[in-house]
Amino acid sequence: MDRVSTASMFPGVIQARDQTWTAWQQVKAPVVVPLLQLAVYICLSLSVMLFVEKVYMAVVISAVRLLGRKPEKRYKWELMSDDAELGTSAYPMVLIQIPMYNEKEVYQLSIGAACGLSWPSDRIIIQVLDDSTDESIKELVQIECRKWANKGVNIKYAIRDDRVGYKAGALRHGLTHNYVKECEYVAIFDADFQPEPDFLLRTIPFLIHNPKVALVQGRWTFGTTPSLLSCPSTKKFSRFSENTGVLLYEEKKLSTYLYLIAYKTHGAGLGSGPFEEMSLDYHFFVEQQVGSSTYGFFGFNGTAGVWRMSAIHEAGGWKDRTTVEDMDLSIRASLKGWKYIFLKDLEVKSELPSTFKAFRHQQHRWSCGPANLFRKMLLEICKNKKVTLWTKIYVIYSFFFIRKIVGHIVTFIFYCIVIPMTVFVPEVQIPKWGLVYIPSVITLLNSVGTPRSFHLLMFWVLFENVMSLHRTKATLSGLLEAGGRVNEWVVTEKLGDIMKKSKASKKPRLRIGDRLHLMELCTGIYLFFCGCYDLANGKNHYYIYLYLQAIAFIIVGFGYVGTFVPQY
């Protein structure tokens, strides 16, 4: 019997394929090629702008370090000392605000660290702003406050009737109490932050001796909690709370972070902790230092900082119009002429997001909020007459446009959409300097904040490209003020709540919806298809990158990323 041809068996399929190919050829040259070429030119232009910004900051930070321009040398600073005549009244009154929301796992650590600050007990007020909705947690926090009050600490437990304004609303409400009126400065610490005892002794002198300084910001350091599957011994952890079961991990080991475990109980994943840390370290080591050293301006990080109370009031107080109330206040205060100081050597321990879900919510807030704030404050910044033209340019172009908008959008659009699409349109060529050289330099400059993690650089690039999808979506949502998540505030949950010592605890069940991320999966499939096409028909070897990036998207899409710690 003669072999039946494919064409005779499926005539409709072959005809449809031929028609699709013909239609593609007809629109390719007049429509697709010009549009894709325009997209390439736009992305290259944005990449150059980002490259120039990174090089500029590298030059500034190098000059700061070579010239030894530390804040102690640029600003007046004197060590606080006791006065025999004035006694403790030589120390200004300081308010410590600790905003909380159902912080069952870390409330003891944060309150204990704040109560342990070295400062005269009659010149400091600890204010615990508890927005918890769980009555049992509220009771635990109150008990902790009473315990410290019995030890002679001036600690106040403050609640309100609702959560209007979220953190901004809590901070604003906290400043309305009568006992706050006597305070000259206010230090803010989120619930997972533990300042060293000398925090106030190192920051307050800058505010006392420099009347134009409104804010002194410390640098975050990170303790991430790894899977107990890889580090079962609590002796490897730097701090362990017997009461709460909180483990804060500080050692940095590749075996702890990079693991892909097919575990029958509930699955772990590819640890994202070091990648989050690399991005944040660059922010603190470079971006914050550059702003502080050149323009006396940077965005307040919302915690681990001390504000001059009069600067907050002059700027209009805390506002909840965006999800970045800290950045909002710092912009408004800078427009009043106030200056800020960033202390690189002032480390405050904190905790990275414990799960990928928590990290996604945090990144949405950090991407959507600044874009939305830029939309609302652009004209106000342009019309301001108290700051110099160069400061306006820095805030609008460098601080907002390049870092908060271009940096997110160009990463996803260029590297995950435009470049893969060019494999189907070989007429569109991307120059090697824009494809290889500029991204390589930007990547190397981004790694200077965390040199000990240089060996993870390739994984970090892939992970950041995956996260750029989420950040781009959030940025566009904030810019256009579209969607219902523009002002969404999801508290970053801490890891301590799943680290129980009880052996009777049950394994948590994860719903499929919590593990699957369709946007990442679809992008991964698209990149994989582009890689296959390039392998079969291309000449530029794009498939090497496309396959690696596709794998990264698919791993994230199936939920195998983050830290999932089984209860034991």
Active site residue 326: yes
The conformational region for residue 152 under phi > 0 = left, psi -120 to 50 = alpha, else beta, is left
Active site residue 131: yes
User: 160-163 long-range contacts, Cβ below 8 Å, gap at least 24?
Assistant: 160/131, 163/101, 163/131, 163/133
Residue 278 phi/psi, 5-degree rounding, is: -60, -40
Q: Which tokens belong to 187? A: 């230090």
Active-site choice (192, 281, 320, 326) = 326
Active-site choice (131, 192, 320, 534) = 131
Residue 284 phi/psi, 5-degree rounding, is: -80, -45
Sign of the CA dihedral with 555 first, then 558, 562, and 563 last = negative
Q: Using alpha carbons, select from 437, 442, 75, 436 the residue that is nearest to residue 286.
A: 442
Q: Using alpha carbons, select from 546, 545, 553 the residue that is nearest to residue 530.
A: 546
Asked if 334 and 237 touch (Cβ cutoff 8 Å), the reply is no
Q: Using alpha carbons, select from 363, 402, 484 the residue that is nearest to residue 54.
A: 402
Compute the distance between CA of residue 404 and CA of residue 471 in angstroms, rounded to an integer. Answer: 10
Compute the distance between CA of residue 508 and CA of residue 485 in angstroms, rounded to an integer. Answer: 27
Q: Using alpha carbons, select from 372, 444, 451, 371 the residue that is nearest to residue 405.
A: 371
CA count, 13 A, side-chain hemisphere, 418: 24
Displacement of CA 218 from its chain's centroid (Å): 16
**Catalytic positions:** 131, 326
